[in-house]
Structure 1
Amino acid sequence: MNYVIMLDGNKLPQNHVPFSRTMLDQTIERLQVINGHLKRLPELHVTPEVGLIDEIIHIQVTGLKPYQNVTIEASVAENNARFVSWATYKADKKGEIYLSRDPALSGTYSGIEPMGLFWSMKSQTEGKRMIKKRADTARIVKIKAKPNSETSGTECPCLEKTIERWYKSINVQRIPVKEGKLRGTVFIPEGKGPFPAVIDMFGGLVDLVESRAALLASRGFASFALSYMFMDDLPKVATEVNLQYFLDAVDWFSQQPYVDADRMGMLGLCFGGGLSLWTAAHEPKIKAVVNINGMPFFHCQLQKNDVPTPYQGIVKTDAEILKDGVSMKGIFSVPDNNFIPAWQYGSKILVLIGEDDLMSSPHWHAKYLEACPAEFRSNIEMVRYPGAGHLIEPPYTPLNRLIPVSFGEIERFDAVNSTFLLCGGETKLHAKAQEQAWDKILNFLRTNL
């Protein structure tokens, strides 16, 4: 007699089974789907699918064959360019891959790097920088998993997820500013103010970049992304920048109802860093300054209204011609320690230094500290990042080593005779520096504002 094993382990004669063979097959099939170890389809898991740019993304692939090789790709379309990264992984004996646990065997990065797909992206157009100038839209990232197998269909599909990476939290307010001569964008955090406040500036080659200011607001700071060149009727060359503009920006921002005027700071990259130092040297309201690879003197003669300001350096012509471009770090110098005295009103100063900066020499930051009077020297903190280049940006931003010479006013430098200027940086070390620097910036501002 034929028997059928029931789900409770008992045996019944086949002619006593209380349901049909079709029903039994359907039940077993459902059990196979429920019990993942019996039958699992490959799946790509990415969390969170919507989050801030400085959040870690968790990526997993499950349902693979044991020890199967899989290539995972990420891509972004931004700034009129496409950025791509990839890495190959081997599944474990359960057919699972965890980017937080497993090493990448090859690709645009290697080793255990949970966020490697993000910081190792490379532009398919040379010299293009992944930069989001407006923060009111998300960065869209497409992630694909392509199992390396000769089979196809449901046994080995191409898996895909699309995620959103934001600089601005959903409840952060974004307010464009066109107030007198001031140009920029204000971001107001969620919650009840007034808030500690930061004026944020990038270098002298872009009109306005909102991304970092939006991220600061998402972390609790009222922020003002301040443009000082190229936008609307603002100067088109650095020598036309009026330093009174930055004092006016502090005065206006400090009067806003969402700003705590007793807790104001500035954050600047490159030329924006030097301008932040100058503002702190002339405005007691600035209690903290973060200078990212900004020279502590000016590379050209600037004026406050019609009065020339000191702190002017010298531009020489001994740019270094390297294999993939020109390094400008050697063309600037400053006579007689003519540094910007940002310390004189007691402002706390954090200087972040990329030791592979090829646009401005790290040498001058050490000289700056030496020039600071002894009574203020403890107010200055310098952090050096080996292998980091000039553009130290929020975490997981891909390294940009090159800037086209035709960009902005670079083409006016007589020392340049190449297609690209070099920002410097080694991909993996630069990525680690950006991650550490962002934590350092937030902690510094929270402590001193």
Structure 2
Amino acid sequence: MLQHPQVKGPGVGLLGYSKGADLSLAMAAFLKNITAVASLNGSVAITSIPLRYKDKTIPSLLFNKEKIKVIDSNILDYSDVALDAFQAPGNQSLIPLEKAEAQLLFIVGQEDHVLKSEYYATEVCKLLQAQGKENFQILSYPGTGHCFDPPYFPLYPIGNHPLFHKRALLGGEPVAYSKAQVHACNVRHTALNNQIP
């Protein structure tokens, strides 16, 4: 990407949503020249499929499908199905963010019904802080669910779950979501521009 004529350099900033956020954070942990990452409602553990980079493999976080809740007979709530990466033995699914030199911005919705994204961001920042790192910030928005589209895109609190391919509760409330879209967009833009000249 640094060879692309529209990339000013010397580093690259990444923006990832949900699974894309996991991948962006993993890139920051393993690759050089990633100077900023904005993670939108992502996990800080590898989900769905294992991640392999060179000789390193991070196993994916396991799911407990028995914790799926049924709402209105055909809408499912998956908020509790992922096992807690911070409670798992050895934290093997966690992305090694202590290796990341990038500035990390975690943007999370407090009503995310796909991932406990606020919990993940808070816990990983505690780990980073305990290791003397200060390269992180959390923006947490009440009334905002899993989907975090650009400003003025409509809210869809129910949609297809990206992993289970069934109708799922994504969460969110229209007014709070709209305000969060605009605020987060401005903060993301400023944060990425400040890290990448």
Q: TM-score under structure 2 normalisation?
A: 0.86
- Distance in 2 between the 1:308 and 1:300 partners? 17
Q: Quick one: percent identity of the two aligned structures?
A: 24
Q: Where do 1:35-434 residues align within 5 Å?
A: 253-304=1-52, 309-310=57-58, 312-317=60-65, 318-323=67-72, 325-333=75-83, 334=85, 335=88, 336-338=90-92, 339-361=94-116, 362-404=118-160, 409-411=163-165, 420-434=167-181
Greater fraction of residues in helix? 2
**How far apart are residue 424 of structure 1 and its match?**
0.4
- Distance in 2 between the 1:436 and 1:376 partners? 29
Task: Provide the secondary structure at the position in 1 that maps to 2:46.
Answer: coil
Q: CA RMSD in A?
A: 2.1
Alpha-carbon contact 1:271-1:295 (below 8 Å) kept:
yes
The higher-RCO structure (CA 8 Å, 6+ apart) is: 2
- Distance in 2 between the 1:257 and 1:277 partners? 24
- Distance in 2 between the 1:355 and 1:264 partners? 28
Structure number with larger C-alpha Rg? 1
CA shift digits 1:91-111 (9 cap, x unpaired):
xxxxxxxxxxxxxxxxxxxxx
CA shift digits 1:227-281 (9 cap, x unpaired):
xxxxxxxxxxxxxxxxxxxxxxxxxx11123323313110000000000000000
CA shift digits 1:292-322 (9 cap, x unpaired):
0010111234242685622531211211222
Alpha-carbon contact 2:25-2:39 (below 8 Å) kept:
yes
- Distance in 1 between the 2:70 and 2:56 partners? 33
Task: Provide the secondary structure at the position in 1 that maps to 2:58.
Answer: coil
Q: Which runs of 5+ in 1 are unaligned?
A: 1-252, 412-418
- Distance in 2 between the 1:284 and 1:290 partners? 16
Alpha-carbon contact 1:357-1:388 (below 8 Å) kept:
yes
What one-letter code is carried by the residue in structure 2 that aligns with 1:256?
H
Alpha-carbon contact 1:280-1:289 (below 8 Å) kept:
yes
What is aligned with 2:186? 439
- Distance in 1 between the 2:39 and 2:168 partners? 21
What one-letter code is carried by the residue in structure 2 that aligns with 1:332?
A
| 1:292/1:375 CA distance change after superposition, 3 Å | same
Greater fraction of residues in strand? 1
**How far apart are residue 409 of structure 1 and its match?**
5.0
| 1:301/1:307 CA distance change after superposition, 3 Å | farther
What one-letter code is carried by the residue in structure 1 that aligns with 2:151?
P
**How far apart are residue 366 of structure 1 and its match?**
1.5
CA shift digits 1:198-233 (9 cap, x unpaired):
xxxxxxxxxxxxxxxxxxxxxxxxxxxxxxxxxxxx
Alpha-carbon contact 1:270-1:294 (below 8 Å) kept:
yes
Alpha-carbon contact 1:302-1:308 (below 8 Å) kept:
no
- Distance in 2 between the 1:369 and 1:389 partners? 21
Task: Provide the secondary structure at the position in 2 that maps to 1:259.
Answer: coil
Task: Provide the secondary structure at the position in 1 that maps to 2:99.
Answer: coil
Moved more, 425-434 or 342-351: 342-351
Q: Which runs of 5+ in 2 are unaligned?
A: none
| 1:304/1:310 CA distance change after superposition, 3 Å | closer
Task: Provide the secondary structure at the position in 1 that maps to 2:175.
Answer: helix
